[in-house]
Chains A and B, each alone.
Chain A
Amino acid sequence: MVLAVETYSFLQTVPLTDFLFGTQWTPLLVPKSYGVLPLLAGTFMIVVGASLVAIPIGVASALFLSEYASDRAKRTLKPILEVLAGIPTVVYGFFALTYVTPLLKTVFPETQVFNAASAAIVVGIMILPMVASLCDDAFRAVPNSLREGAYSLGATSFEVTTRVVFPAGLSGVLAAFVLAISRAIGETMAVTLAAGATPNLTLNPLESIQTMTAYIVQVSLGDTPAGTLAYQTLFAVAAVLFLITLGLNVLANYVLNRFREVYE
Chain B
Amino acid sequence: MENRVILDIDDVCIRYGEDLAVRNVTLPIYENQITAIIGPSGCGKSTLLRSLNRMNDFIHGCSHTGGIALGDMDIYDPATDPVEIRLRIGMVFQRPNPFPKSIYRNIAWGPTINELKGDMDARVENALRRAALWDEVKDRLSDSALNLSGGQQQRLCIARALAMEPEVILMDEPCSALDPVSTARIEDLLFELKENFTIVIVTHNMQQAARVSQYTAFLETGKLIEFGETEDVFTNPKNERTEEYVTGRFG
Residues of A within 8 A of B (CB): 71, 143, 145-156, 159, 163-164, 167-168, 262-264
Contact = CB atoms under 8 A, between A and B. Distances in A.
Nearest to A149: B97
A155 B115 CA distance: 11
Given A146-B97, A154-B83, 19 more contacts: A145-B97, A146-B100, A148-B55, A148-B58, A148-B97, A152-B53, A152-B55, A152-B161, A153-B110, A153-B113, A153-B114, A154-B87, A155-B110, A155-B114, A159-B113, A163-B109, A168-B99, A262-B146, A263-B146
Contacts of B100: 146, 167-168, 262-263
B97 A153 contact: no
Given A153-B113, A159-B113, A146 B95 contact: no
A264 B60 CA distance: 27
Q: Which of A150, A151, A154, A263 has the most CB of B within 10 A?
A: A154
Given A148-B58, A264-B146, A154 B86 contact: yes
A235 to B, nearest CB: 45
B94 to A, nearest CB: 8
B164 interface: yes
Contacts of B87: 154
A262 B164 CA distance: 26
Contacts of A149: 93, 97-99, 157, 160
B91 interface: yes
B113 A163 contact: yes
Contact of A153 (B84, B146, B164): B164
B90 interface: yes
Contacts of A155: 83, 110, 113-114
A153 B95 contact: no
Contact of B99 (A154, A159, A164): A164
A151 B86 contact: yes
Q: Which of B55, B58, B99, B161 has the most CB of A within 10 A?
A: B99
6 contacts: A71-B60, A149-B97, A149-B160, A151-B82, A152-B53, A154-B83
Nearest to A71: B60
A72 to B, nearest CB: 12
A154 B97 contact: no
The A contact surface, by secondary structure, is helix
Given A146-B97, A164-B99, A263-B100, A154 B114 contact: yes
Interface of B: 53, 55, 58, 60, 82-84, 86-87, 90-91, 93, 95, 97-100, 109-110, 113-114, 146, 157, 160-161, 164
Contacts of A167: 100
Q: Which of A150, A153, A159, A167 has the most CB of B within 10 A?
A: A153
A153 B160 contact: yes
Given A145-B93, A159-B113, A263-B100, A151 B55 contact: yes
A124 B100 CA distance: 32
A145 to B, nearest CB: 4
A148 B146 contact: no
A147 B164 CA distance: 17
Nearest to B160: A153
Contacts of B160: 149, 153
Contacts of B90: 152-153
A154 B54 CA distance: 11
Nearest to A70: B60
Contacts of A154: 83-84, 86-87, 110, 113-114, 164
A105 to B, nearest CB: 47
Contacts of A150: 99, 109
Contact of B97 (A71, A143, A264): A143
Contacts of A152: 53, 55, 86, 90-91, 93, 161
A156 B164 CA distance: 15
